[in-house]
RNA sequence: UCCCCAGUAGCUCAGUCGGCAGAGCGAGUGGCUGUUAACCACUAAGUCCGCGGUUCGAGUCCGUGCUGGGGAGCCA
């Protein structure tokens, strides 16, 4: 007999005889001669109520079951006599698959996110975290669906990279060297003795790879893990996270901004349409304004604002900032929050940033002062997307690399793409966990990734 | 890495002026004929984060370290 998922059983329109379900006990209420057992199998947020009485074989054992124990239940799905649920299972037979020890840490009460983080291996068994990770899974599918519908190809960019610098960000070194470490001098490690015969690191971005494939397959995207060794201790940063990076040939900054806006709206709409039950938990218990926020992001046209206009608004604002606002300096978190949360009250795309504060690969504008960069800022999260039109002109790119202190030799293959049929192209990076924070209202990035990696934390 | 706050039972917290270590929930045991965070009764449960100091006496005051949270920087 095949087990049925609780999500499907609860969707039924009429009673079903002779079913088998399996799952874990979330809570149990006993009377003298019968018990109510609520079972969850992870297929949906809701539990199914099992009614079991003393006529069921081994009832005395069943009555002793603890929260967290695993069960197989045979019985009939019937309309519930109680008020809290439409259907319930009248059990005819029950197998105890395993009994959870009484030290099971998840109790029938609300736990703090901080405590649940210390038992990250068990937290997906709670309502809230089960919902987070079901939504995470659904949105992964939505990402692929979005790009596939638009003719994008999915590229697997390498996780181990030999590029000595892919832009900003501290790198995690990958090595098989063991002590005594071979040295060239007191300071310099002899990487020619290492696995790849060169210094290698975990990737901080798939962008350079994606550019090569955009210039071959047209429109491509990567979606995979990304690593940053920054000592960041905030609710918005983790050392290992998942990033979506589309890259489009024959596409300028405007097309890039449009794709970013369309993608965000698509993913939020997908969640509203396909994750309603789980999303409702967040709207009720995590952030009361969640649905309003999401509807605002889906229905509004995003503001397009050149960097210099953003500075003008900030300079004219009747608001005291901790950091000075000035042309040429980067926008601080407080400035971005002011613009998106207070001034415009909707998502905002800032573009044409000064070249001095952006990486070498961004396309230099005709003014020779700014680059074709764009950041999409959303209320509560701040920067959700960062991208640019790429510098396709060989001579300009080479000059900017030299100014950034990068060696042209190491990027020979990257520069080749500008030698052989170079074309305008654009792309961006979207932090998948930040998107999940936006959609669920969860305020700490550590709570939307299964086992978060942050400075000092590698457990699980 | 910097600034601010916190750490007391399994969990969430209270603990007054420096003077006997507390509650709710959870757990265990028993009771209860339809429960919904069930209900009723009883029981067990503590390195008061670590180290050092002040004091007759420290959960409480001082120093320091560790851990967690919020904010900042870096960014997605």
Cα A135 from Cα A45, distance rounded (Å)? 11
Which DSSP string do the residues of A62-126 spell out, in sequence order? HHT--TT-EEEEEEEEEE-SSSS-SEEEEEEEEEEEE---TT-S--SS---HHHHHHTTTTGGGS
Query: Which nt has its C1' nearest the CA of A66?
Result: B27
* Residue A24 CA, nucleotide B35 C1', distance (Å): 19
Query: Which nt has its C1' nearest the CA of A245?
Result: B76
pLDDT at A347 over 80: yes
Domain A6-98 matches domain A125-169+204-447 at the CATH topology level: no
pLDDT in tens, A56-110: 888 888 988 999 999 999 999 999 988 889 999 999 999 999 999 888 999 888 8
* Residue A115 CA, nucleotide B54 C1', distance (Å): 35
Cβ atoms of residues A389 and A422 within 8 Å? no
The complex scores an ipTM of 0.91
* Residue A383 CA, nucleotide B13 C1', distance (Å): 37
* Residue A66 CA, nucleotide B27 C1', distance (Å): 10
pLDDT-derived band at A404 (thresholds 50, 70, 90) equals: confident
Query: Which residue minimizes Cα–C1' distance to B71?
Result: A234
Cβ atoms of residues A388 and A253 within 8 Å? yes
- Please tell me the predicted confidence (pLDDT) of residue A80: 92
What is the CATH code for A6-98? 2.40.50.140
For range A269-294, the mean pLDDT: 95
Query: Which nt has its C1' nearest the CA of A333?
Result: B72
Query: Which residue minimizes Cα–C1' distance to B27?
Result: A102
- Please tell me the predicted confidence (pLDDT) of residue A309: 95
pLDDT-derived band at A163 (thresholds 50, 70, 90) equals: confident
For range A358-386, the mean pLDDT: 93
Cβ atoms of residues A261 and A349 within 8 Å? yes
* Residue A26 CA, nucleotide B49 C1', distance (Å): 32
For range A411-417, the mean pLDDT: 94
pLDDT in tens, A295-316: 999 999 999 999 999 999 999 9
Query: Which residue minimizes Cα–C1' distance to B29?
Result: A64
Q: How far is residue A4 CA from its own chain's centroid? A: 30
* Residue A301 CA, nucleotide B16 C1', distance (Å): 57
Which sequence spans correspond to the domains of chain A?
Answer: 6-98, 125-169+204-447
* Residue A238 CA, nucleotide B64 C1', distance (Å): 30
Spell out the residues 6+ positions from residue A3 whose beta carbon is closer than 8 angstroms to its own: A20, A21, A22, A72
pLDDT at A167 over 60: no
Query: Which nt has its C1' nearest the CA of A117?
Result: B68
CA distances, A212 to each of A22, A149, A371, A389, A396 (Å): 48, 22, 21, 14, 18
Assess whether the previous peptide bond of A180 is cis (omega < 30° from 0).
yes
Query: Which residue minimizes Cα–C1' distance to B69?
Result: A114
Write a three-state SS string for A191-210. Answer: HHHCCCCCCEEECCCCHHHH
pLDDT at A117 over 90: yes
With respect to CATH, is domain A125-169+204-447 assigned 3.30.930.10?
A: yes
Protein-proximal nucleotides of chain B (any atom < 7 Å from a CB): 1-2, 10-13, 25-29, 31-39, 67-76
* Residue A37 CA, nucleotide B43 C1', distance (Å): 25
Q: If you average pLDDT over each of A45-59, A93-107, A268-282, which comes out highest?
A: A268-282
For residue A155, what are the β-bridge partners? Answer: none
Query: Which nt has its C1' nearest the CA of A30?
Result: B35
Cβ atoms of residues A344 and A335 within 8 Å? no
* Residue A181 CA, nucleotide B52 C1', distance (Å): 40
* Residue A420 CA, nucleotide B54 C1', distance (Å): 77
Query: Which nt has its C1' nearest the CA of A430?
Result: B76
For range A153-168, the mean pLDDT: 80
Cα A35 from Cα A73, distance rounded (Å)? 14
For residue A189, what are the β-bridge partners? Answer: A183
* Residue A124 CA, nucleotide B45 C1', distance (Å): 28
Across chain A, mean pLDDT equals 93
Query: Which nt has its C1' nearest the CA of A456?
Result: B67
pLDDT at A129 over 80: yes
- Please tell me the predicted confidence (pLDDT) of residue A211: 96
Q: Which residues of A259-285 are buried (b: 16+ CB within 10 A; e: fewer)?
A: bbbebbbbbbbbbeeebeebbebbbee
Cα A277 from Cα A291, distance rounded (Å)? 13
pLDDT-derived band at A42 (thresholds 50, 70, 90) equals: very high
Residue listed under structure tokens 């000035």 = A326
- Please tell me the predicted confidence (pLDDT) of residue A324: 86
Query: Which nt has its C1' nearest the CA of A455?
Result: B1
Query: Which residue minimizes Cα–C1' distance to B73?
Result: A232
pLDDT at A169 over 80: no
- Please tell me the predicted confidence (pLDDT) of residue A165: 53
- Please tell me the predicted confidence (pLDDT) of residue A139: 97
Instruction: Return the percentage of chain A with pLDDT > 90, whole number.
Output: 81
Query: Which nt has its C1' nearest the CA of A375?
Result: B76
pLDDT at A40 over 70: yes
């Amino acid at each position: 007999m095949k087990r049925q998922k609780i999500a499907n059983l609860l969707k039924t329109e009429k009673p079903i005889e002779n079913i088998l379900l399996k799952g874990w006990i979330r809570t149990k209420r006993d009377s003298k001669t019968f018990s109510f057992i609520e079972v969850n199998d992870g297929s949906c947020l809701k539990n199914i109520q099992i009614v079991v009485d003393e006529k069921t074989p081994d009832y005395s054992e069943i009555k002793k079951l603890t929260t967290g124990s695993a069960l197989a239940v045979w019985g009939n799905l019937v309309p519930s006599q109680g008020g809290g649920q439409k259907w319930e299972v009248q059990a005819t037979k029950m197998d105890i698959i395993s009994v959870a020890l009484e030290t099971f840490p998840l109790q029938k009460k609300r736990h703090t996110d901080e405590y649940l983080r210390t038992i990250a291996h068990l937290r997906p068994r709670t309502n809230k975290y089960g919902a987070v990770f079901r939504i995470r899974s659904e949105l992964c599918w939505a990402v692929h669906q979005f790009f596939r519908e638009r003719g994008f190809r999915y590229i697997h960019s390498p996780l181990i990279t030999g590029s000595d610098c892919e832009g900003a960000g501290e790198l995690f070194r990958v090595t098989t060297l063991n002590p005594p470490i071979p040295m060239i001098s007191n300071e310099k490690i002899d990487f020619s003795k290492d696995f790849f015969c060169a210094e290698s690191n975990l990737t901080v971005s798939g962008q350079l790879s994606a550019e090569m494939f955009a210039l071959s397959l047209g429109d491509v995207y990567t979606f995979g893990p990304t690593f940053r060794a920054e000592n960041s201790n905030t609710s918005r940063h983790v050392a290992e996270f998942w990033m979506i990076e589309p890259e489009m040939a024959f596409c300028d900054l405007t097309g890039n901004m449009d794709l970013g806006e369309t993608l965000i709206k698509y993913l939020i709409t997908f969640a509203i349409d396909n994750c309603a039950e789980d999303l409702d938990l967040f709207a009720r218990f995590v952030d009361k304004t969640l649905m309003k926020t999401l509807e605002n992001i889906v229905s509004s046209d995003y503001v397009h604002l050149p960097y210099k206009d953003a500075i003008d608004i900030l300079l004219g604002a009747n608001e005291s900032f901790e950091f000075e606002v000035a042309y040429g300096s980067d926008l601080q978190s407080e400035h971005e929050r002011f613009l998106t949360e207070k001034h415009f009250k909707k998502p905002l795309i800032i573009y044409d940033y000064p070249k001095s504060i952006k990486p070498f690969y961004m396309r230099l504008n005709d003014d020779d002062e700014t680059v074709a960069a764009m950041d999409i800022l959303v209320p509560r999260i701040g920067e959700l997307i960062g991208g640019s039109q790429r510098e396709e002109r060989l001579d300009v790119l080479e000059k900017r690399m030299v100014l950034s202190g990068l060696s042209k030799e190491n990027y020979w293959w990257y520069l080749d793409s500008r030698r052989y049929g170079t074309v305008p192209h654009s792309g961006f990076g979207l932090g998948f966990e930040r998107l999940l924070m936006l959609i669920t209202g969860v305020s700490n990035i550590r709570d939307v990734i299964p086992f978060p990696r942050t400075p000092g934390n590698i457990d699980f």
